[in-house]
A and B are shown apart, each in its own frame.
Chain A
Amino acid sequence: EIVVTQSPGTLSLSPGERATLSCRASQSVSNNYLAWYQQKPGQAPRLLIYGASSRATGIPDRFSGSGSGTDFTLTISRLEPEDFAVYYCQQYGRSPWTFGQGTKVEIK
């Protein structure tokens, strides 16, 4: 099983700042099949990025994904008020398709 570890656990930032979230896999992720999700309280997760760097439909271009192999990054270039949420990465290159534990982006 590929273990996925996200860091930091919590990120305290102000609107307009840049957010950098990290996701590390214990083994290389096949085909860079790595997705990022945003989840707000009481809502289902929303797909932001798939294939490590492809934005899902309707996702603003301030969200970008990068990385390959075992190290991946989600960058939010300028935080908007609606971006404060919990973010999860998930590898889906090899079953079981494991999630990281999440990074909470909170208002500083």
Chain B
Amino acid sequence: QLQLQESGPGLVKPSETLSLTCTVSGDSISSSNYYWGWIRQPPGKGLEWIGSIYNSGSTYYNPSLESRVTISVDKSKNQFSLKLTSVTAADTAVYYCAPRELGSGSSYWGQGTLVTVSS
């Protein structure tokens, strides 16, 4: 059973870079059983898939964010990370790390972390 913990700043200034990390326990980040992914939810709104990384190399991004997003893996720390550049107020959201098992949905979710973009 996976356990996930997001970490990172809760406040980011406009035009700067949002950086979050998800620490994984219960399985190796090198496991090919999961797409390691991020999902966000603006306050009072629905879910938006941001992107995923598979097998430490193949990345899949939401086209609406692709020019600003990077998802990567740190095998030494059993973590995966999200970087979102040039943020605006529209990027204010609860960010979840949520790996998706092959052939299935996301059974495991982090607790979510609210990131507010404001000067």
Contact = CB atoms under 8 A, between A and B. Distances in A.
Interface of A: 1, 31, 33, 35-37, 39, 44-47, 49-51, 54, 56-57, 88, 90, 92, 95-102
Nearest to B104: A50
A99 B49 contact: yes
B106 interface: yes
A25 to B, nearest CB: 14
A100 B47 CA distance: 8
Q: Which 9 pairs of residues, A with B, have the shortest CB-CB distance?
A: A35-B105, A44-B109, A50-B105, A95-B60, A50-B104, A99-B47, A47-B105, A96-B62, A97-B49
A22 B89 CA distance: 32
Contacts of A31: 103
- Output the residue of A31, A44, A90, A95 with the most chain B CB within 10 A: A44
Given A44-B96, A44-B111, A102 B46 contact: yes
Contact of B105 (A90, A98, A102): A90
A106 to B, nearest CB: 15
B57 interface: no
Given A95-B60, A96-B62, A88 B107 contact: no
A55 to B, nearest CB: 11
Contact of B47 (A36, A45, A95): A45
B48 interface: yes
A95 B103 CA distance: 13
25 contacts: A35-B104, A35-B106, A37-B105, A44-B96, A44-B98, A44-B110, A44-B111, A45-B106, A45-B109, A47-B106, A47-B107, A49-B105, A50-B104, A51-B104, A56-B104, A56-B107, A88-B46, A95-B60, A96-B49, A96-B61, A97-B60, A98-B49, A99-B46, A99-B47, A99-B48
